[in-house]
Amino acid sequence: MSVHTKIDPEERSRMARAFFRDGYNCCQSVLLAFQDIMDIPAEAIAGLASGFGGGMGRLREVCGAMSATTFIAGLIKPAVNPGNMDERTANYALVQQFAQKFREANGSIVCREILQLRADKKEPPVPSERTVEYYTNRPCERIIGNAAIIIAEELTRSNSPHRK
């Protein structure tokens, strides 16, 4: 992935939140905010990320916005050769860095904990209706914005001419 333009974290945050308000899930929303630098068609991104809504298919596990940061980590620090332990270590280190920043910003990386849902409550696979109340009562839009900022700040750092 090559970034030729300055990335404004606040603008990427606004873009991700707008995609969420358009009905995309958390993972899709964050990834689509960076589609222009990934060289992947928007439809492919939306399809690949479609199962990560609701903490992976509404299982309420890892937050979709956090999952998006993991996808992007694979573009910033790809580990394409399973035998290259340096690449894998760099990728995992970036994922862990993203997770730490995500926890600091949102309290957890787990959807159920972020939404303060009971651990023993199984949810059906049917997505929630996107109503005014839905957007008012959930922290998802703010969390999506935070994830976009985390990614944009790392992209800016990783493309800095002064970075080793």
pLDDT tens digit string along 28-61?
999 999 999 998 999 999 999 999 999 999 999 9
Residue 80 in domain: yes
Please tell me what DSSP assigns to residue 108. Answer: -
Q: Whole domain around residue 133: which residue ranges? A: 9-153
The answer to whether the CB of 39 falls within 8 A of the CB of 4 is: no
Is 163 domain-assigned? Answer: no
DSSP 110-127: BHHHHTT--TT----SSP
pLDDT digits 0-9 by tens, 77-136: 999 999 999 999 999 999 999 999 999 999 999 999 999 999 888 889 999 999 999 999
Counted domains in the chain: 1
Does some domain include residue 2? no
On whether residue 1 sits in a domain, the answer given is: no
The predicted structure's pLDDT at residue 158: 84
Q: What is the DSSP letter of 97?
A: H
In a domain, 164, yes or no: no
Dig out the tokens for 89 from the structure: 């270590």
- Report yes or no on 17 lying in a domain: yes
Residue 162 lies in a domain: no
d(CA 35, CA 101): 22
- For residue 4, is it within any domain? no
d(CA 35, CA 45): 8
pTM: 0.93
